Amino acid sequence: MPSQTVDQLLDQSIVAYKKDDMGVASKLLAQAIKLDPNSERAWLWISGIVTTDAERLFCIKRLLIINPHNEIAQHGLTLLPPNLEPVPPSLEKARKEDVDICTFPGCDQSVTRIGFKFCYKHWKAVNVPLDPSATLNATSLGEQFKLNSRRMNLVFAELGWITKERKGWVLTQQGKALGAAQKEHHQTGVPYILWPESISGNKVLLATLKSLNGESDEHSPKILKEDNSFRERYAATHRATDGHWVRSKAEMLIDNWLYMSGIAHAYERQLPIEEELYCDFYIPEGKVYIEYWGFEKDPQYNARKKVKQEIYKKYGLSLIELADEHIKNLDDHLPKVLLKFNVVVN
């Protein structure tokens, strides 16, 4: 009798499930996932029949490792409770006396060591990214740039590519777009990030590292024509309380408000993207950018505004937009909008 394909096993499992025969359905699912651990359809089906959110989270995370763009999995992730620990689904499997069995669905092999959850094959399936280019961790990257892993992660966080959570570092959408992979330690469950080799040559990363080391590029960066024209027309002639030279009285008022509120901020910081573009203000605490639109009667300025808004949207960067009506009442407006990005004004 010819061996069955994954799709055939899944079809039979669905039929059994509809007949309310969960034993047969689980057994067939276990066979399917053992035959192809990277089957999107299998993981999607398992996520739909498991009984706990923790098991569902395991399936969805596995789905997103296989295909980060799976929209069903992305939506499913938003429906699950926060701070949930993933648990491998309980599918039918053979058990060996006095031996810990791999908890990967469909596997009946022994774990590699006492206390581990997976056999070596499925530890690799869960922890090693499918994209072989994502192999560099913060330690190996830090060695390239003569930084320790903590400092390297802080640089990535400053760029908005990762964020710190209670148990470790977590990828942002910007980080995912760069080809990085989110992993978890197989014993502790602590999350960590693997980066593709191409990240070593990322222009934004290199520029940030140079800036942090007090270095500068030999040549001025090329910026968008709209930005360049604006800079030439509106010189930075207003000096804020913290020493920043800004381009208008309104920007000076914003800068002074942030300074007097004790909020660390940068003025005209380059955005962490491939396009070389600058924000008005950047607040590292909330990874949030501020743009003041102050010359909206100027058609050329409005064209520049539209380009910048589209870029913020394209990269999913957090943005606060200010206009003249907000400048008149910063004390009421800014604390409320900053709180949306977890920046608390005392």
The SS3 call for residue 16 is helix
pLDDT digits (tens, 9 = 90+) for 253-289: 999 999 999 999 999 988 888 777 889 999 988 889 9
pLDDT at residue 115, rounded to an integer? 61
| Burial of 54 (C-beta count, 10 Å sphere; 0-12/13-18/19+) | middle
Q: How much is the pLDDT for 127? A: 58
Q: SS3 for 125?
A: helix
- Is the pLDDT at 225 greater than 50, yes or no? no
134-136 β-sheet, strand order: 134-136, 191-196, 181-184
**Most confident listed range (51-65, 125-139, 149-163):** 149-163
- What pTM did the predictor assign? 0.53
CA angle 314/319/323 to nearest 5° reads 120
d(CA 272, CA 203): 9
What mean pLDDT comes out for the span 243-254? Answer: 93
Q: Round to whole Å and give the CA distance between 265 and 280.
A: 10
pLDDT value for 132: 53
- pLDDT score of 320: 96
pLDDT at 253: 96
Report whether pLDDT(235) > 70: yes
Contact 254, 290 (CB under 8 A): yes
Mean pLDDT, rounded, for 42-61:
85
Write out pLDDT tens, residues 180-218.
Answer: 888 877 666 778 888 988 898 888 898 888 877 777 554
Choice among 122-126, 224-228, 335-339 with the minimum mean pLDDT: 224-228
Mean pLDDT of the region 3-12: 85
- Average per-residue pLDDT for the chain: 81
Cα–Cα distance between 116 and 24 in angstroms, integer? 28
Domains with residue ranges and CATH for the chain: 6-125 (1.25.40.10), 134-204 (no CATH), 220-339 (3.40.960.10)
Question: Which pLDDT score, from 0 to 100, does residue 221 have?
Answer: 42
> What's at 136, amino acid-wise?
L
pLDDT-above-90 percentage for the chain: 19
Give per-residue pLDDT as tens, 19-41.
878 778 888 888 888 888 888 88
pLDDT above 80 (res 112): no
For the cut 60, the answer to whether the pLDDT of residue 110 exceeds it is: yes
At residue 93, the pLDDT reads: 46
Provide mean pLDDT across the span 317-325.
93
Model confidence band, residue 124 (pLDDT cutoffs 50, 70, 90):
low
Question: In this structure, are residues 161 and 272 in contact, taking their beta carbons and an 8 Å threshold?
Answer: yes
Give the model's confidence band at 321: pLDDT under 50 very low, under 70 low, under 90 confident, else very high. Answer: very high
Q: What is the pLDDT of residue 228?
A: 56
Could you tell me the CA-to-CA distances from 27 to 22, 118, 168 in Å, in that order? 8, 19, 36
